[in-house]
Amino acid sequence: MANPRQAHAVADEIEKQLKQIGELPNSVEGYDTAEWILIDYGDFVVHVFSEAARSYYDLERLWRHAKSIDIPDA
């Protein structure tokens, strides 16, 4: 995300859409700073990064050996 407002908008929309189907987050972290917003739904976790945080943490590198799981369309 280019700026905190954009990260907030993305996180807010994710929460809104999931709430409509009955999914509520267990916790939300990092919303205030918007560098790395983590939304924990228990069975899955949503990450919303600023460009700088995404580059710094490089999760794709950390999880490169993890098994990929296809998620069927709803």
Give the full edge-to-edge strand order of the sheet including 27-29: 27-29, 36-40, 45-49
Q: Identify the band that residue 74 occupies on the pLDDT scale cut at 50, 70 and 90.
A: low
Please tell me the chain's helix, strand, coil percentages from 3-state DSSP, rounded to the nearest 5.
Answer: 40, 20, 45
The pLDDT score that the predictor gives to residue 72 is: 86
Q: Are 39 and 45 in contact (CB under 8 A)?
A: yes
On the question of pLDDT at 22 being above 80, the answer is: yes
pTM: 0.80
Domains of the chain plus CATH, in order, are 4-62 (3.30.460.10)
Distances (CA, A) of 59 to 3, 19, 41, 63, 72: 20, 26, 19, 6, 23
Mean pLDDT of 28-53: 95
On the question of pLDDT at 1 being above 80, the answer is: no
Q: Is 29 helix (H, G, I), strand (E, B) or coil?
A: strand
